[in-house]
C-alpha cells in the first residue's frame, strides 16, 4: 500500500485536536489512467489529479492499486473509502457520492487486428462474444444493451490477452487507452463506438458532504485553471471533441 505524504505529515499535527481520519483511495492498473512504475511510484491521469485534489484539501489519504471488482466493492461497503476512475452511470449514481469529471471518456469496441469481426452498429456487434472484466461498468452496459455472449475476466489485462489470442471477438476499451496501446504497437483495431460517460471519484455514502464539496471544488479548479488539460496532454490523451 502506498501511504501518501499528507498522511505522514498529519501524524505531527494532532496536538489538542482530533486527527482527521484518512480517506482510503483505491484504483485499478489501467494505463494511462493509473499504474505503478518499476520503482514503485503510482502515476497516471487519475492518480495525478487525486493527489493534487487531496493535497489542496489538506486531508490525509492512502492510495492502493488492486483489482477493480475489489476496489469498487470497498468504496461501496467501507466508510471513508473512495474509488476512481469510476463511470458515473444511472445504476451507480445513488450508491456513491461523486466528484466528477476526472475525464470525459469515449468507450469503443475493439477487435484483434486483421480478424474478420465486423460491425457498424451495436446491434450488429451482438452476434459476437465480447469480453470485459468483472464489476466494470461495461459489464452492466453490455447486459443492459442486450449482448448475449459476455466473457468475464478478473482484469483488463486478462481480457486483452484473450482478445489477442482470439478467444473473444471484441472488448470495450477507453478510446484514450486504445490510442496508447496502438502507439505501443498492440495489434488492435476500432470496430464501433460503445458509450460515452463521465469518469470520476466514487465515495462511500458516509464520506462527509463537506469533504466531497471540497474535493469537487478542487477538481473544478483543476479544470478551470487548465491543470487537468495539461495532465491529459502529459500522458498523450486527446480530449473528446
Q: Which pLDDT band, with edges at 50, 70 and 90, does 105 fall under?
A: confident
Angle of CA points 219, 2, 211, to nearest 5°: 35
CATH 3.40.190.10 positions along the chain are: 2-104+199-234, 105-197
Average pLDDT over residues 210-233: 97
The answer to pTM > 0.95 is: no
CB-based contact 131:109 (threshold 8 Å) = no
Cell numbers at residue 224, please?
A: 478551470
pLDDT in tens, 31-63: 999 999 999 999 999 999 999 999 999 999 999
- State which fold the 2-104+199-234 domain adopts: D-Maltodextrin-Binding Protein; domain 2 (3.40.190)
Q: Which pLDDT band, with edges at 50, 70 and 90, does 6 fall under?
A: very low
Q: Which of 187, 193, 189, 211 is nearest to 201 (CA)?
A: 211
Q: Give the pLDDT score at 197.
A: 87
E runs forming strands in the chain = 2-3, 23-27, 35-36, 42-43, 61-65, 81-87, 97-112, 130-133, 150-153, 171-174, 188-203
Q: Is the model's pLDDT at 239 over the cut of 50?
A: yes
Q: Give the pLDDT score at 140.
A: 92
Q: Give the pLDDT score at 14.
A: 34
Indicate the CATH number for domain 105-197. 3.40.190.10
How much of the chain, in percent, has pLDDT values that exceed 90? 81
How much of the chain, in percent, has pLDDT values that exceed 70? 91
Average pLDDT over residues 193-207: 95
How confident is the prediction for the chain on average, in pLDDT? 91
Amino acid at each position: 500500500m502506498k501511504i501518501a505524504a499528507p498522511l505522514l505529515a498529519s501524524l505531527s499535527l494532532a496536538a489538542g485536536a482530533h486527527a482527521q481520519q484518512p480517506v482510503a483511495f483505491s484504483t485499478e492498473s489501467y494505463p494511462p489512467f493509473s499504474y505503478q512504475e518499476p520503482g514503485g511510484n503510482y502515476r497516471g491521469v487519475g492518480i495525478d489529479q487525486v493527489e493534487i485534489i487531496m493535497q489542496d484539501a489538506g486531508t490525509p489519504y492512502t492510495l492502493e492499486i488492486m483489482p477493480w471488482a475489489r476496489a469498487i466493492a470497498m468504496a461501496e461497503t467501507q466508510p471513508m473509502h473512495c474509488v476512481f476512475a469510476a463511470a458515473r452511470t444511472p445504476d451507480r449514481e445513488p450508491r456513491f457520492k461523486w466528484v466528477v469529471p476526472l475525464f470525459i471518456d469515449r468507450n469503443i469496441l475493439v477487435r484483434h487486428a486483421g480478424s474478420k469481426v465486423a460491425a457498424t452498429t451495436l446491434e450488429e456487434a451482438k452476434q459476437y462474444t465480447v469480453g470485459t472484466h468483472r464489476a466494470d461498468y461495461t459489464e452492466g452496459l453490455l447486459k443492459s444493451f442486450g449482448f448475449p455472449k459476455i466473457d468475464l475476466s478478473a482484469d483488463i489485462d486478462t481480457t486483452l490477452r484473450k482478445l489477442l489470442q482470439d478467444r473473444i471477438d471484441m472488448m470495450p476499451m477507453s478510446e484514450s487507452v486504445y490510442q496508447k496501446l496502438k502507439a505501443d504497437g498492440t495489434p488492435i483495431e476500432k470496430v464501433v463506438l460503445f458509450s460515452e460517460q463521465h469518469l470520476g471519484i466514487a465515495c462511500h455514502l458516509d464520506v462527509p458532504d463537506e469533504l466531497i464539496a471540497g474535493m469537487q471544488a478542487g477538481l473544478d479548479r483543476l479544470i478551470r485553471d487548465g491543470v487537468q488539460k495539461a495532465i491529459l496532454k502529459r500522458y498523450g490523451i486527446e480530449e473528446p471533441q
